[in-house]
Amino acid sequence: MRGAVLVAVAAAIGNYLQGWDNATIAGAVLYIKREFALESQPAVEGLVVAMSLIGATIITTFSGPVSDLVGRRPMLIASSLLYFAGGLIMLWSPNVYVLLLARLVDGFGVGLAVTLVPVYISETSPPEIRGRLNTLPQFTGSGGMFMSYCMIFAMTLSPSPNWRIMLGVLFVPSLLYLFVTVFYLPESPRWLVSKGRMKEARVVLEMLRGREDVSGEMALLVEGLGTGGDTEIEDYVVGPSEGDAGENEQARDTVTLYGPEQGLSWVAQPVAGGRGSMLGSSLGLQASRHGSMYEQMKDPVVALLGSVHERLPESGGGATGSMRGSTLFPNLGSMLSVNDRPGGSSWDEENVQPGDDDLDEEEEEYLSDDGKDDDDGGGLQAPLLSRQSTDVETKNEPASGQVAMQRHSSIGGGGVETASTMGIGGGWQLAWKWTENVGPDGVKRGAVKRMYLHEESEAAPGGDAGGAGAGDAPSTAYVHAAALVSRSMLYTKDVLIGQSPTEPAFANPPEAVAAAASTGPAWRELLEPGVRHALFCGVTIQILQQFSGINGVLYYTPQILDQAGVSVLLASLGLSGDSTSILISGLTTLLMLPSIGVAMRLMDASGRRALLLWTLPVLVASLAVLVVANVVPMAATAHAALSTGSVIVYFCCFVMGFGPIPNILCAEIFPTRVRGLCIAICSLTFWLGDIAVTYSLPVMLSSVGLAGVFSFYAAVCCVALVFVALKVPETKGLPLEVIIEFFNVGAKAGTLPDEEFH
């Protein structure tokens, strides 16, 4: 995982610069208003501080769609250039108008970094540590604030502090950010796949994962290109097949799952009614309105993902959510080929069926690995679902690569469905199955469906599979598995029975990937039920985060602590008022860093939802104590202790939960093709909320006072707690593509009666 970690650390430098900028303007504005005589022009003074927010808001409007068009990496490079240019202009700034321009340019860089760094880290990180790595921006941002406060505090000790150096020194760390974005950061592999650039995506994934076998994740990225909401939940009881599936009579509706080793396979019997698994039961509970009022009010996505995390196999649970030790899939992460190739031979020209000799140059490039000839051993192994694996032509003799496959299945006739599987992380397996349906025109057609399988529990040995085909194996436990099933993006066309199906998009990207890329992110896709459902969750949690009080507490920390007597104590050490204010802010920021470290440790263990549910009540309690300290008369010592302790607890809990998690969630819950567009909408909400809170503070203070402001923030935190409990799902350890499918299912569950789910 070292490659993914280093890339995340490098990308998070953008948030380090944001934190640095936030702290420097807080200190420099004390001297800016003196030089430009802004004491009598509070509007201009406020504009100097807020111009960065305005720039971030403006650039966020365009950043998402543009990043979907040109890529994540070019936008991060643009962010570093804007930081650099803004720093140089601030270093010069002969008058307040040039300073305003510099702050606007700097705000453009801030907006790009805050919007796209979480997206980039989510798209490059493995699911097991994605939460931990996506907490890095919060850590580096707070670290940047602390380092900047240290620099400003040292400068305030000089007789004549120079605010231009305070602000302009930003260009120095921005050079480091520019260097790593240009020479080190790769493009997001998910974005590359969405544009049909499969070869580049494979190279990036190999670097990020530190291994050469990334075929499974490549397939997952292709399957994640769709945004449709046709996903259904199906339940299976799975066990080892008895001997050769092709030589034993299987039930007509049996699905065959093939293992990574020659001759190893499993058979799966669908469970009638779709209610045997925790997923099906949770979905049914939501539809039938049974259970407690809390269960009825809970969002279907919350219930579904909650059931997944509750029933993780003991050997594979915990922070990683992997399935090591799984009785169903013992070789996690292996590429399980549908072709049982004799001797394990790799894909080569001898495996190509007659009639495929006219492959064009582009197609051959994707059929080979790194462009090497098959003769030198660099050939890509058989495509995920090779041309042979779903060939239903029965009139001709099968090609050599097809013989072994037909030993294990009856795709060529007989009605038994077949599938290939592989581990994709987070306790999930990716599988495909061949289905046959009769259309409205009476013509029988075949299609490939994609399945995300999740092991839930062990069934009784030897027979609870309900005729799954291996009832004579009493020593082996059958496994209950739930599946999210939808149309495959690898195979996009139905075929008539008796005709050869289309080639998989993984082997021939123009088939589906390039077609999807050519359409671009359309606004109409935001109306898809699953995307719309996710947008509601993302936008709402961003609004609640901004109105939870972080800006009010942050901006008024010196005033709060001064009333508590802390500032007076520090001033008695011989520090000026400016130095005391900066030192207090710096010490407060320093206390955040260990708290963020704890959050990084827990983000993939306890999970995002659990952290929010534990920290939000503490935020409410700390704000309530601040209200009491400002309303109830008490001794000076008690007042100082309550106020100081409440501020510290508030900050520490905020950076553990409500600080980083909204951005992490928003980077996880949207489909690849519209992720940039959706994250831009959420980020725009973030910046508009930031501006609204910042400019409403003086009005609220004059009307209801500090105690009234904190009471309002406490009420918002209570609303946020209810919203998280009912609407925010747990996403730890799950592949991004699986999370998206749950939102598709949840949106469907909220609109259809129970009997129409399956």
For 273-297, the pLDDT digits (tens) are: 554 555 666 665 555 555 667 777 8
Task: Look at residue 482 in the predicted model and tell me its pLDDT.
Answer: 84
Q: Which of 105-109, 353-357, 625-629, 735-739 has the lowest mean pLDDT?
A: 353-357
Task: Look at residue 345 in the predicted model and tell me its pLDDT.
Answer: 30
Task: Look at residue 240 in the predicted model and tell me its pLDDT.
Answer: 66
- State yes or no: pLDDT of 362 exceeds 80: no
Residue 545's pLDDT band (cuts 50, 70, 90)? very high
Task: Give the amino acid at 118.
Answer: P
Residue 468's pLDDT band (cuts 50, 70, 90)? very low
For 19-60, the pLDDT digits (tens) are: 999 889 888 888 898 899 887 887 888 888 889 989 999 999
**Comparing 558 with 676, which gets the higher pLDDT?**
676
- State yes or no: pLDDT of 178 exceeds 80: yes
**Comparing 721 with 333, which gets the higher pLDDT?**
721
Instruction: Pinpoint the residues of the chain covered by CATH 1.20.1250.20.
Output: 1-185, 522-757
Task: Look at residue 273 in the predicted model and tell me its pLDDT.
Answer: 55
- State yes or no: pLDDT of 324 exceeds 50: no
Class of domain 522-757: mainly alpha
Q: Which two tokens stand for residue 127?
A: 């699911």
Contacts of residue 319, defined as CB under 8 A and 6 or more positions apart, other chains included, come to 128, 604, 605, 732, 733
Q: Are 405 and 340 in contact (CB under 8 A)?
A: yes
Q: Which of 370-384, 408-422, 530-544, 548-562 has the lowest mean pLDDT?
A: 370-384
**Comparing 523 with 370, which gets the higher pLDDT?**
523
Q: Which of 617, 733, 572 is nearest to 664 (CA)?
A: 733
Terminus-to-terminus CA distance in the chain, angstroms?
39
Count other Cβ atoms within 10 Å, centred on residue 264.
15
**pLDDT (mean) for 254-271:** 60
Q: Which of 56, 118, 64 is nearest to 523 (CA)?
A: 64
When mean pLDDT is compared over 512-526, 567-581, 634-648, the highest value belongs to 634-648
Q: Which of 79-83, 156-160, 179-183, 289-293 has the lowest mean pLDDT?
A: 289-293
DSSP for 274-330 reads G-SSHHHHHHHHHHHT-S-HHHHHS-HHHHHHHHHHHT--GGG-TTT---TT-SS-S
Q: Are 749 and 287 in contact (CB under 8 A)?
A: yes
For 187-220, the pLDDT digits (tens) are: 999 999 888 888 899 999 999 988 887 877 888 8
Cα 18 from Cα 27, distance rounded (Å): 15
Q: How far is CA 596 from CA 518, 592, 727, 732, in A?
A: 41, 6, 24, 17
Cα 412 from Cα 389, distance rounded (Å): 10
Q: Are 589 and 144 in contact (CB under 8 A)?
A: no
Alpha-carbon torsion (252, 254, 255, 260), positive or negative: negative
Residue 563's pLDDT band (cuts 50, 70, 90)? low
Quote the pTM value: 0.82
Topology at the third CATH level for domain 1-185:
Growth Hormone; Chain: A; (1.20.1250)
- Tell me what the pLDDT averaged over the chain comes to: 75
CA 126 from centre of chain: 10
For 242-258, the pLDDT digits (tens) are: 554 444 444 556 766 65
- State yes or no: pLDDT of 354 exceeds 90: no
Pair type for strands 255-258 and 265-270: antiparallel
Count other Cβ atoms within 10 Å, centred on residue 94.
8
Residue 182's pLDDT band (cuts 50, 70, 90)? very high
**pLDDT (mean) for 323-340:** 35
Task: Look at residue 142 in the predicted model and tell me its pLDDT.
Answer: 93
- The torsion angle over the Cα atoms of residues 724, 725, 726 and 728, rounded to 10 degrees, is 40
Task: Look at residue 314 in the predicted model and tell me its pLDDT.
Answer: 44
Task: Look at residue 399 in the predicted model and tell me its pLDDT.
Answer: 31
Q: Are 684 and 112 in contact (CB under 8 A)?
A: no
For 377-431, the pLDDT digits (tens) are: 322 233 333 333 333 333 333 333 222 223 233 222 334 455 555 678 777 888 7
Region of 661 please: left (phi>0), alpha (psi -120 to 50) or beta. alpha
Task: Look at residue 570 in the predicted model and tell me its pLDDT.
Answer: 65
Q: Which two tokens stand for residue 260?
A: 């990574």
* b/e per residue 612-625 (b: at least 16 CB within 10 A): bbebbebbbbbbeb
| H helices present in 41-183, as ranges | 42-70, 72-92, 96-124, 130-134, 136-156, 163-168, 171-183
Q: Are 510 and 362 in contact (CB under 8 A)?
A: yes
Alpha-carbon torsion (21, 22, 27, 28), positive or negative: positive
| H helices present in 636-735, as ranges | 636-656, 661-666, 675-727
Residue 491's pLDDT band (cuts 50, 70, 90)? low
**pLDDT (mean) for 749-754:** 55
Residue 701's pLDDT band (cuts 50, 70, 90)? confident
